[in-house]
Amino acid sequence: MNDRPARPRVRPSVRLCALAIVPLWVLLASACGGGPQPGAVAPAADSAAAAARRDSVAAAARRDSVAAAAEQRDSIAAAARADSLAREARETARADSVRAQVRADAIAESALVLSGLDSASTAELSAVIRFDLDRSDLTDASVAALDRKLRILRENPRLEIQIAGHCDERGSDEYNLALGSRRAAAAKRYLVEHGISEGRIGIVSYGEERPLDPGGTEEAWARNRRDEFAVTARAR
């Protein structure tokens, strides 16, 4: 006779249910707390973002360096161009000065031949008169020079002249042409008022176009503010 108590018999359907319940519980536990938390950044992703930021900063630094180098090159090139232009201006000024002197010498020589006067009278008649800055009224020195010209014109009634007004380089072309005309007209008016026939005196303005001195100094500008006198008909 067997004294061991008999084991209760478990039905197969109960065992299957127990096996099914365990995996479901494991899955529920994994879904609720066992996986990565929402919003958490993986270490690999954080490292990639930092590397991207470093690359962006390095690229910006390279761009700044390239821009600075280009700006420096442009500055050096601009300085070189300015030096070149300054040299050209100086060379042009020297050439203009030489041409002006040659022209003045030629005018003086032709005036001596044309006028029929002796050299002293020719020099006196062709002597320039000068003006103050932006003025067309006659100075005391200009009046004295015109009085000497009056004597020559009275002694030679067939002599005719032209008065050319000139300005320094400051001011617009239009303004300087008008100012040169006023300067020439002021000298003519004085001669006419003192007995010289108006028909014997012509006037013209060259503005700033024919400087005696091409320099850009006060002394050069003072020389260029002038009236010039040239003989247009012989005395004899």
pLDDT in tens, 119-160: 999 999 999 999 999 999 999 999 999 999 999 999 999 999
pLDDT at 4: 56
pLDDT in tens, 157-187: 999 999 999 999 999 999 999 999 999 999 9
Does residue 69 belong to any structural domain of this protein?
A: no
Write the CATH number for 155. 3.30.1330.60
Sequence-separated (6 or more) residues with CB below 8 Å from residue 225: 130, 131, 132, 133, 166, 167, 168, 183
pLDDT in tens, 63-113: 888 888 888 888 898 888 888 888 777 666 655 655 665 565 555 555 545
**Residues of the chain above pLDDT 70, percent:** 70
User: Which of 202, 207, 210 minimizes the C-alpha distance to 231?
Assistant: 202
pLDDT at 169: 95
Does residue 54 belong to any structural domain of this protein?
A: no
Residue-wise DSSP of 2-43: --SPPPPPPPHHHHHHHHHHHHHHHHHHIIIIISPPTTPPPH
Does residue 186 belong to any structural domain of this protein?
A: yes
Q: Which domain holds residue 123?
A: 97-233
User: Which of 119, 124, 184, 190 minimizes the C-alpha distance to 151?
Assistant: 124
The residue among 5 and 205 whose pLDDT is bigger is 205
Query: How many domains is the chain built from?
Result: 1
Does residue 18 belong to any structural domain of this protein?
A: no
